Amino acid sequence: MGKQGPVAKGLPNTLVAVVNLWYKPLMTQDNNNHELGVLEDRLGYYFKDKGLLTQALSHRSWAVEQGGSVQDNELLEFMGDAVLELAVSDLLFARYGDQCREGELTKMRSFLVNETQLSSLARRIDLGNFLLLGRGEDKSGGRNKSSILADAFEAVMGAVYLDSGMDTIFDLVERLMGGILDDAREMIAGYDFKTRLQEFTQSRFHRVPEYKVEKISGPDHQRTFHIALYLNGSLVATGTGRSKKAGEQAAARMALDKLGSGEPLVHSEDTADP
């Protein structure tokens, strides 16, 4: 769509107009097309207008050092915040709309679009490595600051929206956040399967579970962790997740499901004290 960007269904025209008013394509030697291509590979999206992506990566400290000749990413961050909230709301409604009330869906959305989650997503695609930062910000560790990473992730989402529209945002968010979306209700409800399982095994067997990463599959930006859960050397359950922690929780949940069905975790002789 170039500079003007599409108007997404459900978003006010004025929101798009504000960003279009200030948008300036950028080309810098520090962030050439080859480097942008690496980031696009990790995103799984290829920009028609590379200037939008470059602007999304331009921190305020960088723009200041350029003497006002370039535009920072803050307006794209503003747009990205809006489209992320809409996309996550839609995806949560599709998953949980027939199970949850409005308040629970709101809590899940707030959990999914907070600084912790967005900076984690940014780290998965190594977004910090591509940021344009001022010298001082760079030296102070800005590439790994959660606040900067979360803001930049929102800016990239805003750039994707302006470049391609809302359907692309839905697809991208589903791909990047799918595993977290699937686990959102349990996370918000405060379920902690690992703690519950450990309390049981300590009480029953005087042992604690051991979790091992059996393998990691998928591309760097969409990894799946395969976890095996052992008790006293015996395999009890397995689980997968988009993170090591999520995989461990899935394995612990499978073990608890076995208990709930009356199936023993391990044979008694496997856990007998020597």
Pull the structure tokens for residue 98.
């027939």
Q: How far apart are alpha carbons 85 and 82 in whole angstroms?
A: 5
The one catalytic residue among 154, 163, 183, 248: 154
- Give me the numbers of helices (H) and strands (E) for the chain, helices first please: 12, 3
The one catalytic residue among 49, 81, 137, 163: 81
DSSP code per residue over 231-267: ETTEEEEEEEESSHHHHHHHHHHHHHHHHHTT--SS-
CA angle 240, 265, 270 (to 5 degrees): 120
154 is catalytic: yes
99 alpha-carbon distance from chain centroid: 24
Kind and range of the H or E run holding 214: strand 210-217
For 206, phi and psi rounded to 5 degrees?
60, 40
Q: How far are the Cα atoms of 37, 64, 183 from residue 242, in angstroms, in the given order? A: 24, 37, 10
Residue with tokens 């930049």: 152
167 is catalytic: no
* Helix ranges (DSSP H) in 212-243: none
Strands 210-217 and 234-241: unpaired
Residues known to be catalytic: 81, 154
